[in-house]
Amino acid sequence: MSKFIDFNQSVYPFPTKPKILNPNEIAFYYKHIQSLLNKKNAVIVAHYYTSPEIQILAEKTGGCVADSLEMARFGASHPAITLIVAGVKFMGETAKILSPKKNILMPTLESQCSLDINCPEKDFIQFCNENIDRTVVVYANTSAAVKARSDWVITSSIAVDLIKYLKNLGQKIIWAPDRHLGNYIQEKTAADILCWKGTCIVHDEFKSQSLKMMKKMYPDAAVLVHPESPKDIIDIADVVGSTSQLIKAAKILPNKSIIVATDKRIFYKMQLVVPEKSLYIAPTGGAGAVCRACAHCPWMTMNSLHGILDALENGKNHQIQLNEDLIEKALIPLKRMLMFADTLKCNN
């Protein structure tokens, strides 16, 4: 079994954690949830950043644990009539846009995303209208309304490839909402990109000075970084990539120790892939700095087994609802994303 070393836990304060379930409570929820999934022709689609208990249940019951791109693909192609989307709200909205006839439920409708929150529809539309000569490309971490105003929706796993493609077509870009990811893409592609100024509450907190100190402590460790991180963190990285790409890198790299700068819940899946390796969370504080998210999205934490059970029993309070006009408009850039991703997959 890989050794999981939580550097922040021993050095820096964490926010209040949700109630930890004992084995009997977990077994109770598993039994009742599995029964209702079968009864209601439902399946769980979970993100890597949800709790291990949710990830285990999703895979045990024929669901999926993945990044946002693969979640979208899985949900759209699965025959279940109800999708339980364990993640943050934009993921539930994306599932509804791609599968408008399906019943999309979430453990809680309050699970927001800092990138989504910091890119409000009205302000973003005005920003686009002031730069009408640019192609609008938005990250998946946005509301359905923002997606509807875009020309393309993309995830971090295909972002660089898509912007290279658009640059070769001679297009200038509006990128939203994550400025760190936008700056990373601009540096990799030399495209003409005008960035929105949002950041992810988790990735924005990683600190380069503390990471350099940690690297001195573990000089043989590889550093894996999500591109939503600040440039000074990316500059230290051995590998920069999406969640699925970081998990793949952990397996491929020869290093026996790995430092990872992304949400710490990725370690559940990563441990399964590389049980022989030591995994370290990159520091989110130090040198006078403190953390708020502390390497875990506070909204992802809101997903729970209790919430999944309640969604299956009382669906109306957990249902994603979007009007048909919004779905129709947002579907266009989402379909472009999936078609482009499929083309990349075939070519690779």
Residue 345: the pLDDT is: 80
Pair 84, 119 in one domain: no
Say if residue 172 is in the same domain as residue 258.
Answer: no
Flag whether pLDDT at 13 surpasses 80. no
The last residue of one of the domains, among 145, 169, 200, is: 200
Note whether residue 187 is domain-resident: yes
Amino acid at 226: H
Work out the number of other CB atoms within 10 angstroms of the CB of residue 131: 13
Mean pLDDT calculated for residue range 246-262: 97
Q: How far is CA 342 from CA 75, 336, 337, in A?
A: 16, 10, 9
- Structural domain ending residue among the three candidates 142, 169, 200: 200
pLDDT score, position 102: 96
Are both 41 and 81 inside the same structural domain?
yes
220 falls in which pLDDT band (50, 70, 90)? Answer: very high
Q: How far is CA 4 from CA 16, 106, 263, 265, 276, in A?
A: 21, 29, 14, 11, 11
User: With 50 as the cut, is the pLDDT of residue 11 above it?
Assistant: no
Range of the domain at 207: 203-281
18 shares its domain with 103: yes
At 320, list the tokens: 């994603």
Distances (CA, A) of 129 to 118, 119, 135, 148, 336: 18, 15, 11, 14, 22
pLDDT digits (tens, 9 = 90+) for 172-191: 999 999 999 999 999 999 99
Sign, Cα dihedral of 110, 113, 115, 116: negative
Structural domain includes residue 348: no
Residues contacting 299, CB < 8 A, separation 6+: 88, 110, 111, 112, 113
User: Looking at residue 250, which CATH number applies to its domain?
Assistant: 3.40.50.10800
Mean pLDDT of 141-146: 96
% pLDDT > 70, the chain: 93
pLDDT band at 15; cut points 50, 70, 90:
very low
For 264: left if phi > 0, alpha if psi spans -120 to 50, otherwise beta; the answer is alpha
d(CA 7, CA 25): 29
Same-domain check for residues 129 and 191 = yes
Both 192 and 212 in a single domain? no
Is residue 106 located within the same domain as residue 133? no
Considering the entire predicted model, what is its pTM?
0.90
Same domain, 211 and 180: no
Q: Is residue 139 part of a domain?
A: yes
Report CA-CA distances (Å) from 27 to 17, 21, 22, 85.
21, 10, 9, 21
338 has pLDDT over 80 = yes
Is 145 found in the same domain as 122?
yes
Six token digits for residue 229: 């991180």
**The token pair that represents 152 in the structure block:** 């393309």
Residue 266 lies in a domain: yes
**Residue 166 confidence (pLDDT):** 97
pLDDT for the residue 8:
40
Number of independent structural domains in the chain: 3
Q: Which of 180, 200, 220 is the last residue of a domain?
A: 200
Task: Over range 89-113, report the average pLDDT.
Answer: 95
What is the average pLDDT across 83-109?
Answer: 96
* Claim to verify: residue 47 and residue 94 sit in the same structural domain: yes
